[in-house]
Amino acid sequence: MHEIELKAHLEHPEKTEVRLARIADFSFRCVKSDRYWTLGEKTVRVRRELVAGKETVWVTHKQKQYAGTIETNRELEFELPVSSVPVFIEMLESLGMIRTAEKQKDTKVFLPHSSLFTADILEDARSVSAELSVIHPLGYFLEIEVLYPDENSDTAASERHIRNARIIFDTLLAALEIPRSAIEVRPYNELLASQLLCKYIKRRHVYSVNFSFLFYRFC
């Protein structure tokens, strides 16, 4: 599948949810627990997804590209039996992959009304969804996702899908009153790594300040 998506930080998630409920139908709620394994520039995500008490595990590798603020992914994904997770993780680690990040998403999924868009804009789209998520420990986000069949080498189709997805994103951002300045282009694993680095630097700074104080006082 070809996934085209956009995400944005939410300053007022409650207001966004009220606006979204006016233009979209609530579909379901789920909890997604993600762990990332990395080797060089290659990343594999193992996701445990809990919907209505049923757990499903998905393994995903995304071949990412960017068109401005839009992320376009060719997704390679399969369902993994829950009982097979430990041996699959052992396999990743035996291949030299290192667990680099993890996150949990509590998500409400909405399906925007098709009346928001003209028929040509929705051409070829398998689905359009808007997700409101609180992501521990990053905060609140809106994710808008459009899924298309894999275009393979059809460049014209790929460019048309990106143009149409951009119109879908702009329409929903305007309806939800989300400024373009809130758009986040970095992937979540990069945001998580950045946050961990900031925490590490702050701890080192506190330690350095405390050590300097003790040295000055007692030496």
Q: What is the pLDDT of residues 151-210, one digit of tens each?
A: 777 889 889 999 999 999 999 999 999 999 999 999 888 888 887 667 657 666 554 545
Using a 10 angstrom Cβ sphere, with 0-12 exposed, 13-18 middle and 19 or more buried, the burial of residue 7 is buried
Residue 213 pLDDT grade (very low, low, confident, very high; cuts 50, 70, 90): very low
Q: What is the mean pLDDT of residues 8-15?
A: 97
Q: Which of 27-41, 56-70, 129-143, 190-204 has the lowest mean pLDDT?
A: 190-204
Contact, 57 vs 49, CB < 8 A?
Answer: yes
Q: Which has more confidence, 3 or 202?
A: 3
pLDDT score for 204: 64
For residue range 57-87, list pLDDT tens digits in order: 999 999 888 888 899 988 899 999 999 999 9
Average pLDDT of the chain is 90
- For 43, the token pair is 């990343």
Contacts of 211 (CB under 8 A, 6+ apart): none
Using a 10 angstrom Cβ sphere, with 0-12 exposed, 13-18 middle and 19 or more buried, the burial of residue 85 is middle
pLDDT score for 218: 42
- Alpha carbons 175 and 123: distance in angstroms, whole number: 21
pLDDT-above-90 percentage for the chain: 71
